[in-house]
Amino acid sequence: MLDFHQELYAHLFMASTNDRFVEAESRWDLKTLYADLAAVKGKPLTPVEKLHLRGLLCGNSPAEIAEKLQKNPKGVETDLCATIYRYVKGFVGKGIEKIENWRNIAEWLEDAGYKTKPPVKFPIPDGLSENSKVNVTNITFENNQIKIGVYLQITVPLPSEISIQNLDLNDNNAN
């Protein structure tokens, strides 16, 4: 059984690892990636493995990851070679290939479809236009939850330099 200090250290370590390299969450499907790599590994990734992977996915070299985490660069590189590099190589079918550069990991995972597309952003002027609508369509109370259905229609004029033909809207956003 862990004593108080060990439990406190473990809790603080977990909290500090989850708030590092958080940019990866907005650019990558980490939930699916963690699950798929865990299947290759045969058990869930450790917090350190997740942390190092997020560091790579944020474009940090092993040396930069080590510096940001105040770790030994050789130790981080050794850990990556023994864990993340091996799992990714096995997962993307590059098992016998030598990793020429740490950037290969992010490239391979992007090619495998784990990188998410950034949302389309439009400049929105202050305030809503007169044509914008917000309607509450339904309110229900069930299982100690309140569900509020909302219909939202926002009308925003396009800047003159943007045309409809140049917008990158996929079918999912066309509704």
pLDDT tens column, 119-154: 656 555 566 666 777 777 777 777 778 888 877 777
Phi, psi of 138 (to 5 degrees): -165, 140
Tokens encoding 11: 């809790």
Q: What is the pLDDT of residue 1?
A: 47
Cα–Cα distances (Å) from 115 to 13, 35, 88, 111, 151, in that order, read 27, 15, 14, 8, 30
Q: What is the pLDDT of residue 11?
A: 45
Q: What is the pLDDT of residue 36?
A: 93
Q: What is the pLDDT of residue 174?
A: 46
Q: In angstroms, rounded to a whole number, what is the distance separating the alpha carbons of residues 11 and 105?
A: 29
Average pLDDT of the chain to the nearest whole number? 79
The DSSP H or E segment spanning 134 is: strand 133-142
Look at residue 39 and tell me whether its pLDDT is greater than 60.
yes
DSSP letter assigned to residue 28: B
Using 50, 70 and 90 to split pLDDT, how confident is the model at 15? very low
Q: In angstroms, rounded to a whole number, what is the distance separating the alpha carbons of residues 105 and 88?
A: 7
pLDDT, one tens digit per residue, over 67-87 is: 999 999 999 999 999 999 999
Listed in sequence order, the DSSP H helices in 19-143 are: 23-27, 30-41, 47-57, 62-69, 73-82, 84-91, 103-111
What is the gyration radius of the CA atoms in the chain, in angstroms? 22
Which residue in 122, 120, 121 sits closest to 158, CA to CA? 122
Look at residue 45 and tell me whether its pLDDT is greater than 50.
yes
